[in-house]
Structure 1
C-alpha cells in the first residue's frame, strides 16, 4: 500500500495527465518562481520533480503581487492529435473587495520539458480554468465564473467557452453550464473529460477548507444539461450532508472531521492506465489538532478509483472518505531520482528544487562564482513584494533539521544574511548575521514576524567574528529553534521559539 500524501508540503491543486507510459502532475505555485512544478512517474508510485512550466520571468511577472496570489490551479492536458501538451493557468492579481481579478492563459509544448510557447490570453471572467480536447477536434475551456453582484450565490457557476487554435483566442463569452452536484456551495476547480457516450464534469465543492469535496456530473452533450452523480460527493473528508450554498466562507472549520487522516480533501482530476485502472489526485491537508493549523500547507494525495457498471466513478473499497493508504498499480515499478538531502553546490546550475518569491532564484544566487558555494546577492527586505533574495526549499515534514555554513561580513546595519523559516512576507522567523551599531561589531540575532508585526529579540543579540559560521534550524512538531556555532567549535548556542 502507498501512504498519502504523495507530494508532501506545499503542493496544492493537483492536475494529472498521461502521455503513453508517462504520468505527470502539475500543482499551483502562487507567487513562487519557477512556476508550475511538474512531477513525473512511470508507475504512479515513484515520483520525481521533473521540470517547471514557467521559467522565464519575461513571460510571467509576479513582482508586487501579494502573497497567495500569482499562479492558481494549472491544468495539464495532452492532445494526441496535435502531439502537444497544453497548460492552462491563471494569474490571480487581486482579491480586493472580493472581485478576484485574474487573467487566464494557455501555453503549449511538444516536449513536457519545453520550450513552452508564448502565453496566449484566454479570459478574465473567473479562475481554475481548464481545457478539454473533444473527439471532433474542438477545444473547450471551463472555469468558475466569479460572481460579484449582490443577491447572487457566491462564488458563482461553472462556465464554458470554445477555444480556437487557429485564431488563438476564445470564441464568444463563457456561458454557465453547471451549478454543482451538492448544496455545499463554493463550487470551483472544473475539469471536463469524456468516456463512452458521456461528458463528465468533475468539480470541487464546499470551499477549500474543511468542507472541501469532489463532485461529478455527466451529460450526452458537452453543453449539458448535466445530471448529478447520485452519490455526490464522491470524495471528501467530511461525508455528512450540509447545505451552505449561501455561505461564501471557504474555510468552514466547523466541518473538521477527527475521523479523517486527510483533511480538506477536494480539487481533483483523474487518469486511466492502459490496463484500465483509475487513479485520482486531490488536494488535502494535515493540520495540527486542536489548532487546525496546516503548517505544511495544502498537499497532494492519490486514491484508487473504479467505474461502476452504470458509468459513475467510485472510490476503491467503498464510501467517499479520503483514504490514508491506497493500492498501487500493477504497472512495472520504475524508480525515480530523488532530491538529495545535502547540497554542496558543486554543479554548474542551481538545483531544480530551489525557489524564490516572485523572481528567478538564478537572478541572485550564483553557483559558478565559487565552486562548492552559492553566492547570494542581497536585495530588498524580506517583507518586500518585489525583489527579495530568499533561496528556498519546500518544507515537507514538521520534523526536520536544516543546517548551512555561511561566510558573510556585514559592513552596515542594513546588511544581513542568514537562515529563515518563511511562510510569506508577513510571517517568518529569521536567524541573521548583521552589523550591530550598538555592539560596534558583527552580530547575530533573531527576528520574528507574525501577521506583519515585527519583533526583534534583542536578548539574542550576540557579537560574532567574521569567519565561517554554521546556522541550524530544528523543526520539532509545534516547536522550532535555532542553533549556531563557529565551524571549528564543538558546542552550539540555541535560540528557542
Structure 2
C-alpha cells in the first residue's frame, strides 16, 4: 500500500478525533497548529547592558527605512515593507524605546496593491509627518510597479488612513512632506535633474509647495541639491531627503551611495531660506560606516536614511537603517534594521558620528526609559534582544507581526476558540511573482530557530505545504510535505533563476516516517555552518536532521540586491 494513501485515511481520523477534536482540514488546505521562533544572538546577552542602557538596533529584523514624527509626548514611526501585505506598518511609542505596532496604514488590497509585484517592487521608503496646524498625520511614498507616488492622511495614526491619492507631475522616489512654522507645506523627493548629468546615477533633490487642503502640489518645482556632498568623488544615488527647521536654519539631510552598499552615507546641508542656497557641512558625512574594517566585532553596515525628531525633553534623536552582517563580505539576512542615536548639535550643525566611528551596539536610553516587561513576546511591544515567541493563532485575527505576499491570502483563524490557522493551497507558488499562500514572520536574529506543527496530506503531485524562508521570488527555501507517485515525501527545495525564468531545484527528498498520519513537526535552525532542517512525526519524539549545512548566504540581501529581509513563514501551494 502506498504511504500517502495510508496517511490520508489515518489523517482523517486524527484531525477529527485527536487533541484538536473540532478541527477539520479539508482537501486543498493545510492546518498549522502553532509556530515558535527563538532568537539567541550573543550580541543581545543582557549581561552586555549597563544600567540605563538599551540595545541598538531598537527594532530588529526587516523594519527598514524608518521615519519618525512626534505629537506631544507620542512618537510614531512607519517602515517600508515593499511587496508584502498589509502595507506600511505604523508604530507608536511614548519613550522612543518601547514600540508597539498599532496598525497597517493600508490594510486592504483596494488601497494600493496588485497581484504581480516583484519582491523588489512595492512600497518603497515612506515618510510619516505631523501637521500641527491642521492636526493631521500624513504618509507619503512610492508604489514601484504600481501607481507611483501617493499620499494618505489620518487624524489618528492608528487609523483609518485615507485611500491613497496619487501625486503626479514628478518622477524619482522617496517623497517627503515638510510643514514649516509659517503654515506652509512642501514636498521634497529624489529625482533626475532637468539637465544633462555629468555621470551615471547622478540624482537631485527636488522641492515644491504642497497644499494640504487640496492634497495637491502648487507652484514651481525647484532643485535644492544636485549630485551629493562632494561632486569630485562622484557620489551616486542621492536619495531619502528630509527637511527640518531649527532656529534660523532649514536643514536638509540626504543619503548617497546606494542603500545596499557599505558606501552608504548621510550628509547635512543648511540654508536660511527653504529654497537655498544650501551650505554643505564641512564635516560631512554625519553618518557612515564606509572605510571601516570588514569583519570587525559587532559591525553595523549599510547605514543611512537618517530621520530626526525633537523629543519632548528638547533633545534630538535620529533613526536610521543599518545591517548586522555575519561575514566580512557584508552578508546579512535579517534585512535593514532600525537603529537610533542621539543627535549632537555643534555650531548649528547636526551629526551622529564622526568619520571612523562605529555605530554603537548599545546606547543610553533616551528620556530615561527602560524596557517594559511584556507578558510574552509581541503581547504588546515588539520584543528586544533575545526572546522566544510562540504563536498559537488563538485570537480572532492574524497578529500584526505577520505579513503576506502582495495581496491577502485566504488564511483563516480556526473558529470556536481552537488554536491554529488554516492556509488554502493557493494556485500560485512562492516563486511565481503572484499572490501566494504564504504567511511570514521576520527573521530577527542571526542565530535562530523556527518550528511549526502542521497537519496536511497532499492529494496530488502539485500540492505542497510546510515552512518557507523567503528573501525574494528567486531566493527562498521550502521545507515540507509533497506527493509523488502515491508517496508522501519530505522535500527541501530552493528557487533558482536563469534566462528561462524562476524554477525550483530539489535539495533532498525522502519518504515520510512510518508513523506519519497527517501531522508533522518541521524545524529550521541557523548554526555556524549553515541551516539545519529537521522533522518529527510526534511531539514526544526528538527531531531528526533532514538536511544540514544548507547555505545561509543564499538568503543574503547583499548577494541578491534585495531590499527586504528574510521572512520565515507558513506556506501552502497547489502549483509546485
**Aligned-residue offset at 1:323:** 2.7
Counterpart of 2:404?
356
Aligned equivalent of 1:201: 252
Q: Partner of 1:83 in structure 2?
A: 135
State how 1:460-479 maps to structure 2 within 5 Å.
Answer: 460-462=510-512, 465-479=516-530
1:387-423: CA deviation from partner (whole Å, max 9, x where unpaired): 1010110000121121111111211111111111111
Change (3 A) 1:166 1:278: closer
Q: Hey, which bits of structure 1, 4+ residues long, moved more than 6 A?
A: 316-319
User: Which residue of 2 is the match for residue 366 of structure 1?
Assistant: 413
C-alpha deviation, 1:150, in angstroms:
7.0
Partner of 1:130: 176
CA apart distance, 1:56 = 1.4
Tell me the C-alpha RMSD between the 2 structures: 2.4
- Structure-2 separation of matches of 1:450 and 1:456: 10
State how many pairs are aligned. 472
Structure-2 change in CA distance of 1:200 and 1:432 (3 Å): same
TM-score, reference length from structure 1: 0.89
TM-superposed CA distance for 1:466, in Å, is 3.3
Q: Does 1:436 align with 2:484?
A: yes
Partner of 1:455: 505
Alignment partner, residue 99 of structure 1: none
TM-score by length of 2: 0.77
**Partner residue of 2:275 out of 220, 223, 229:** 223
| Partner residue in 2 for 1:401 | 449
SS of the residue corresponding to residue 80 of structure 2 reads: coil
Answer whether contact 2:393 2:413 (CA < 8 A) is retained: no
**Which residue of 172, 188, 192 corresponds with 2:243?**
192
Q: Give 1:321 deviation, angstroms.
A: 4.2
Change (3 A) 1:87 1:312: same
Q: Could you tell me how far 1:234 is from its partner in structure 2?
A: 0.8
Residue pair 2:326, 2:446 contacting (<8 A) in 1 also: no
What does 1:52-451 correspond to in 2, within 5 Å?
A: 52-93=104-145, 103-123=148-168, 124-146=170-192, 151-153=197-199, 154-172=201-219, 174-179=221-226, 180-183=228-231, 184-208=235-259, 209-238=261-290, 258=296, 261-308=299-346, 310-315=347-352, 321-333=358-370, 335=372, 337=374, 338-339=377-378, 341-361=389-409, 363-368=410-415, 371-379=418-426, 380-437=428-485, 440-451=486-497
Q: Report the Cα distance in structure 1 between the residues aligned to 2:529 and 2:71, rounded to whole angstroms.
A: 41
Distance 1:185 1:476, change over 3 A: same
SS of the residue 1:330 aligns to: helix
Structure with bigger helix share is 2
Query: 1:166/1:491 Cα in 2 relative to 1: closer, same or farther (>3 Å)?
Result: closer
CA contact (8 A) 2:267 2:281 kept: yes
Match of 1:45 in 2: 97
3-state SS of paired residue (2:124): strand
Residue of 530, 538, 541 corresponding to 1:490: 541
What is the deviation of 1:279?
A: 0.9
What's the CA shift for 1:454? 2.6
Describe the shift of the 1:116–1:69 C-alpha distance in structure 2 as closer, same or farther (beyond 3 A).
same
Supply the distance in 1 between the matched residues of 2:116 and 2:334 (Cα, whole angstroms). 24
Asked if the contact 2:287–2:353 (Cα under 8 Å) also holds between the matched residues in 1, the reply is no
Gap runs ≥5 in structure 1: 95-101, 241-254
